[in-house]
């Protein structure tokens, strides 16, 4: 924990500006209020209806607004010149485009549900599995290309490196989070959201038991968090730090909060603090494995707590 504390202390000393941090907080408060009061995300990104090609534009404008609303004024306030560098615009727009494709891509759903030889429950389960599997294809190949063009000297693929990873730090963090997640599991909107795969709502298909289906889903669901870390703490932090320096953190944090607008409000607020801490760790350690371990561990705890709520505490 001392290492993380030192990372944060050094970063805040270099980055903290009262006026700009206040601007960032006000920006987040305003849009969190708008989202949870007026369903901002659904009205913005789903304006054309699901599976429309226009959704890619809506998602890109949504995440770009969040990112550049912080990145551009930060460059102006701190008098940085990264706005004049093509690498900043190319890399940031590609990274945001990948995030937008991940959010808007539902064409596999059309294909699966249009398959006449499968019944509805089979289609539903298959769609859940594919939805968690395809982001790996969306992210890895384009990020490898960007790394080859701009960041060949960077070890690993934007933080996918063992060097700088110390599992003991993150184990302590998870132990601290466990009682907080247990408390959160008693909140009304928690059990409506988690677990992501609810065995009690699924009919057994393809000769698999409900728990085998749940196990397959959870493995892919938890693996999918490496793609989240690869984009937010990898590409948007490590990938852009060569251009933006320490100014990569706050734009990423705000975009990460926007990603959580479909989640319970408490989770969105938590993502701000978690994104900030994980971003600083990635910036200094040059590894995203710790962030993945925390993200995956917290998600796993939330899934387990939700199952305990349903089957043990509420006794279904």
* pLDDT average, residue stretch 92-109: 90
Confidence (pLDDT) at 182: 86
Distance (Å, whole) CA 57 – CA 208: 39
More confident residue, 302 or 167: 302
Residue 206: DSSP 8-state: T
Mean pLDDT of the chain: 89
Q: Phi-psi bin for 226: left (phi > 0), alpha (psi -120 to 50), beta?
A: alpha
CB–CB of 94/270 below 8 Å? no
Distance (Å, whole) CA 30 – CA 109: 34
Question: How many other C-beta atoms lie within 10 A of the C-beta of residue 115?
Answer: 11
Confidence (pLDDT) at 210: 85
Confidence (pLDDT) at 162: 73
More confident residue, 198 or 51: 198
Given a cut of 60, whether residue 48 has pLDDT beyond it is: no
SS (H, E, C) 63-125: HHHHHHHHHHHHHHHCCCCHHHCHHHHHHHHHHHHHHHHHHHCCHHHHHHHCCCCCCHHHHHH
Confidence (pLDDT) at 164: 62
């Amino acid at each position: 924990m001392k290492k993380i504390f030192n990372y944060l202390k050094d970063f805040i000393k270099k980055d903290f500006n009262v006026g700009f941090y206040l601007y960032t907080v006000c920006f987040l408060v305003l849009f969190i209020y708008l989202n949870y009061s007026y369903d901002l995300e659904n009205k913005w990104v789903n304006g054309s209806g699901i599976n429309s090609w226009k959704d890619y534009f809506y998602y890109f404008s949504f995440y770009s607004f969040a990112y550049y609303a912080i990145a551009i004024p930060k460059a102006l306030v701190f008098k940085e010149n990264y706005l004049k560098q093509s690498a900043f615009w190319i890399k940031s727009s590609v990274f945001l485009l990948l995030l937008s494709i991940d959010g808007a891509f539902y064409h596999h759903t059309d294909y699966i549900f249009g398959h006449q030889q499968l019944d509805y429950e089979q289609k539903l389960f298959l769609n859940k599995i594919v939805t968690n599997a395809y982001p790996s294809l969306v992210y890895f190949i384009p990020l490898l290309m960007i790394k080859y063009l701009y960041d060949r000297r960077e070890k690993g693929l934007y933080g996918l490196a063992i060097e700088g990873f110390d599992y003991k730090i993150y184990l302590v963090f998870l132990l601290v989070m466990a009682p907080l997640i247990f408390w959160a599991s008693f909140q009304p909107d928690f059990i409506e959201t988690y677990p992501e795969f609810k065995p009690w709502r699924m009919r057994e298909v393809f000769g698999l038991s409900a728990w085998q289906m749940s196990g397959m889903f959870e493995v892919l669901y938890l693996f999918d968090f490496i793609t989240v870390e690869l984009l937010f703490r990898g590409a948007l932090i490590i990938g852009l730090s060569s251009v933006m320096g320490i100014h990569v953190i706050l734009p990423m944090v705000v975009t990460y909060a926007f990603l959580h607008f479909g989640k319970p409000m408490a989770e969105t607020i938590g993502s701000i603090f978690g994104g900030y801490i994980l971003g600083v760790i990635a910036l200094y350690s040059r590894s995203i494995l710790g962030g993945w371990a925390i993200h995956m561990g917290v998600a796993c705890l939330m899934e387990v707590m939700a199952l305990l709520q349903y089957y043990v505490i509420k006794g279904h």
